[in-house]
Amino acid sequence: MFEDTIAKDWPFVRGDYTVVDPLSHICVVTLASDMNPLENVCMIGSCKTENLGIEKIIANTITNVNIRYILICGQESRGHLSGNTLLAVYKNGIDDNGRIIGSEGAIPFIENIPVHAVERFRQQVELIDHRGLVDTQKIQAIVGEYRSKGEPFSQPPLILEFTKKKKRHSVQQEITHGDMMIASDILMDSVSGVIFT
């Protein structure tokens, strides 16, 4: 059964997470909060960005059909709003330009995953929204309720070539004192709106 429900070399992409039980039906996304691994969870980890972080969640989910539920908890990532964006991609999908419909995040784009993979993610899982919840006992109780609930998804793991696209714009510009800091390693030119990492 393990071979039928989980892609070879799973987890498919690296990230800030811990795998506990690949056969569990629930993953925990802790947004900007750091939490220790919990019992009976498939994987647990943070998601601080509304683009690459969500792409990693999608890729690792659709390559393990045991995953049927994703619990979103922890504190929201300021500016990026990765929890809001994860819920938006689940509810609304993406438009023709890869923009996550309904996201309030700063850069809500899926650029490295095809539309059919996003749609598969939306079919495979149910999201459980507990943004702001950091009480590990309550989180563990939710995990206990969902870890064996239901059956693995009815289709085989969906394998992707997860390659980054070339950046759309190549801008060389010196960042001035008037620019805005979005995160510790992300700055935005307040006049042009260009993001620098």
Return the pLDDT at 179.
Answer: 52
Looking at residue 42, the DSSP 8-state letter turns out to be S
Helical (H) or strand (E) element with 85: helix 82-92
Q: Where are the domains of the chain?
A: 2-165, 167-197
Residue 147 neighbours by CB under 8 Å, 6+ apart: 21, 24, 25, 26, 40, 41
Return the pLDDT at 12.
Answer: 87
Helical (H) or strand (E) element with 92: helix 82-92
Euclidean distance between CA atoms 195 and 13, whole angstroms: 24
Q: Are strands 186-188 and 195-196 parallel, antiparallel or unpaired?
A: antiparallel
Q: What is the mean pLDDT of each run of 10 residues along the chain (197 residues)?
A: 79 94 98 95 95 95 98 94 96 96 94 96 98 97 97 94 50 43 60 59
Helical (H) or strand (E) element with 53: helix 52-62
Residue found under tokens 């023709």: 96
For CA atoms 17, 20, 23, 27, the dihedral sign is: negative
8 Å CB contact between 65 and 157: yes
pTM over 0.75? The answer is: yes
Q: How far apart are the first and last CA of the chain?
A: 42
Return the pLDDT at 4.
Answer: 87
